[in-house]
Chain A
Amino acid sequence: MDDRITRMSITGHVVSLTLAVIRVFLCIRCLPSKAFLRVTVTHPRERNRVGKDMSDTNSHSYSAHHEQSHSQHADHAHDHEGPGYLTPQAAIEESEHERIAYVLGLHVGTKTDEPDFVAAVDVDPDSETYQEIVHREMMPSIGDELHHFGWNACSSSCHIGELERRYLIVPGNRSSRIHIVDTETREQPEIVRTIEPEDVHELDLSAPHTVHCPVGGSVMLSMLGDADGDLPGGFFQLNENLEDYERWDQPGEIEMNYDFWYQPRHNVMVSSEWAAPSTYQPGFDMDDVEAGNYGHQLHFWNWSDRTVEQTVDLGEEGMVPLEVRFLHSPVSTHGFVNAALSSNIFHFWKEDGEWMAEKVIDFEGRDHDDWDMPVPALPTDILISMDDRYLIGSNWLHGEIWMYDISDPANPRHADSISIGGYFGEIRAVQDRELVAGPQMVQMSLDGERLYWTTSLYSTWDNQFFPEEADRGSVMLKADVNPRRGTLTLDEDFLVDFGELPKGPARAHEIRWPDGDCTSDVWK
């Protein structure tokens, strides 16, 4: 028995009694050569589970709706007292060069037994501490796996004068803790409250992911699992006081969950699918793909009724649809989603009252000596520039940052790329700092002229595909963007090294600006 390798969850195990062999321990370092062998999942479900016509927002009534929306918003200019910007274009015009970036730093899955943290990174070129992590606000407990985070208020509440974009909602995806961080002092964010996992579990929810700030001050979080980390997931709504909370959806309305975005004028929310926490948290296992344990659907919700009106199955080429991004324009019904495992980008839109989705970008796998199959690109993050002109994303395994012109959203046109890091990136180091992973989470300046990214995906997945990152830490890098010419240029003078920290190397994940950014602000 001594030599028998078992996967043993100490948390839920009871000493003595009988040995339960849970599962053969995953030989994670073997995985890259075996992974992605057979993506042959079949999808017997209909493409559109519910073809219900949203007649109040269909294309025939679109113009009238648009007109009405305009009249409702005609007093914008003299009414604006709340957080954010009146329009996406106002955000471009009025924003200043970002000075502080909030970046989630993680010690989860490293040799450092320390909590994860919110890093304040100086990104002001005129500052003496430019490119330095000027503050790390440590979370109270180890093991959170901070992942995505968001604001208590954004541009969707631009009329609500008493609201302030001040509090970051910072969930631990692995722990189900939800932290409230006060950014009144921008360079020194301070944790003020934590909602404990037991309280989250009371709602039969776990594994918080995306944070959005809908109209009116409440905060919505997508939750990927039930209290046990199994399905179904759902949505957690934190009230404006950031103390009270409730479950937003009826349990079982969806099974899998991941990211979501909403367009208030169209009364629609779209959510995507990763997998149950008990599936993805231990690490990637190809058997789970073959068993149908990974998602491939988009759910279009009636925002006010909190019900799914239509589910679109993306099929075999749409495996693991992750980040859903509507165009920023509040009148648009166009958006994009990255099907990470299939390495495709889908365009979705509304036509004749029905939501449609179509593959518009297909990244081909590439041969690698250490793999017995082509290495998939794995596009793990996307964003849309604030002017709705470019779709930008990262191919984590291949090592590529790419930029597509989406002025015709049905026909994206490749504008530029940077080949960097990952398995195939041409640039292997920045300022002699070896890159041990590919580009992952991306964030863009509001004016669309600077793009930043980090390199960690998820601790257990990092350890499978880029195991060196646990010992070397992540990096934060930057490219200069010319939105007129459609070009990306690596800023070789910019490097924030999360491998050089007092407590030990850390992973770095999502990036946010204090005054709103391309992946959090929504307009009403």
Chain B
Amino acid sequence: MHVELVRADGRSDTVTANPGKPILDAAERASVTIPYGCRTGACSTCTGKLRVGKVEHVRPHERSKITSFERVSY
């Protein structure tokens, strides 16, 4: 699956992404530098405008979030 990443100045790169995997991984594999920070979806450094297509936002740690009960026995 091809993803075109267009910068504010009009420059663009097209990278090959795997379904179910982060776009950042695809960019890094292709040595395309895009802004990012936390890798968890918290800091919004990688925020962009979706021009076309579909994405799903998945924050990597949320599936294994510790519940408040479990925290007691941490």
- A residues at B contact (CB < 8 Å): 1-2, 4-20, 22, 25, 108-109, 111, 113, 142-145, 172, 174-176, 197, 201, 204, 206-207, 225-230, 250-252, 276-278, 281-283, 460
How many pairs of residues, A versus B, come closer than 8 Å at their CB atoms?
171
Bound together, the chains give a CA A281 to CA B61 distance in angstroms of: 18
In whole angstroms, what is the CA distance A22 to B41 when docked? 10
Complex CA distance for A25 and B66, rounded to whole angstroms: 29
How far apart sit A2 and B53, CA to CA, in the bound complex (Å)? 9
Closest to A5 in B: B49
16 A-B pairs (CB sep. < 8 Å): A1-B52, A2-B52, A7-B47, A8-B46, A11-B24, A11-B46, A12-B40, A12-B59, A14-B55, A15-B1, A15-B55, A18-B54, A108-B37, A113-B33, A225-B42, A282-B43
Inside 8 A of A230's CB, which chain B residues have their CB?
42
Residues of A within 8 A of B56 (CB): 13-14, 16-20
Contact of A22 among B33, B57, B62 (CB under 8 A): B57
Q: Which residues of B contact A12 (CB under 8 A)?
A: 22, 39-41, 57-60
Residues of B within 8 A of A207 (CB): 38
B58 touches A228 (CB 8 A): no
**Contacting residue for B20 out of A4, A15, A19, A460, CB 8 A:** A15
A10 to B1, CA, bound (A): 15
A9-B35 contact given A14-B20, A15-B1, A281-B44, CB 8 Å threshold: no
Q: Which residue of B lies closest to A7 (CB)?
A: B47
Given A17-B55, A142-B36, 15 further pairs, Cβ under 8 A: A9-B47, A10-B27, A12-B60, A14-B20, A14-B55, A15-B21, A15-B26, A16-B53, A16-B54, A22-B57, A143-B36, A175-B39, A197-B39, A277-B43, A283-B44
> Contacts of A226 on B, CB cut-off 8 Å?
61
Residues in B neighbouring A19, C-beta threshold 8 A: 50, 54-56
- Minimum CB–CB distance for A54 against chain B, Å: 25
**B19 part of interface (Cβ distance < 8 Å):** yes
Closest to A276 in B: B42
What is the distance, in angstroms, from A175's C-beta to the closest C-beta of chain B? 5
How many Å from the CB of A340 to the closest CB on chain B?
A: 20
The 7 A-B residue pairs whose C-beta atoms are closest, nearest first, are A229-B42, A174-B37, A12-B41, A282-B44, A281-B43, A17-B56, A278-B42
A12-B41, A143-B36 are contacts. A228–B65 as well, Cβ < 8 Å? yes
Residues of B within 8 A of A204 (CB): 66
Inter-chain contact B71/A251, CB cutoff 8 Å: yes
Residue of A with least CB distance to B9: A111
Q: A15-B17, A17-B54, A145-B37 are in contact. Are A174 and B45 (CB under 8 A)?
A: yes
Given contacts A11-B41, A20-B56, A174-B43, contact A252 B49 (CB under 8 A): no
User: Looking at the complex, which one of A4, A7, A111, A206 makes contact with B42 (CB distance below 8 Å)?
Assistant: A206
Known: A7-B47, A10-B22. A251 touches B66 (CB 8 A): yes
Q: A293 to chain B: closest CB distance in Å?
A: 13
* A229/B38 in contact, CB under 8 A: yes
Nearest residue (CB) in A for B59 is A12
From B34, which residue of chain A is reached at the shortest CB distance?
A10
User: Of B19, B24, B51, B66, which one neighbours A10 at CB under 8 angstroms?
Assistant: B24
**A228 contacts which chain B residues (CB < 8 A)?**
40-42, 59, 61-62, 65
**B37 engages A14 (CB within 8 Å):** no
B33 close to A142 (CB less than 8 A) = yes
Contacts of B65 on A, CB cut-off 8 Å? 228
Closest beta carbon of chain A to B54's beta carbon, Å:
5
Interface centre among B9, B50, B54, B55 (most CB of A within 10 A): B55
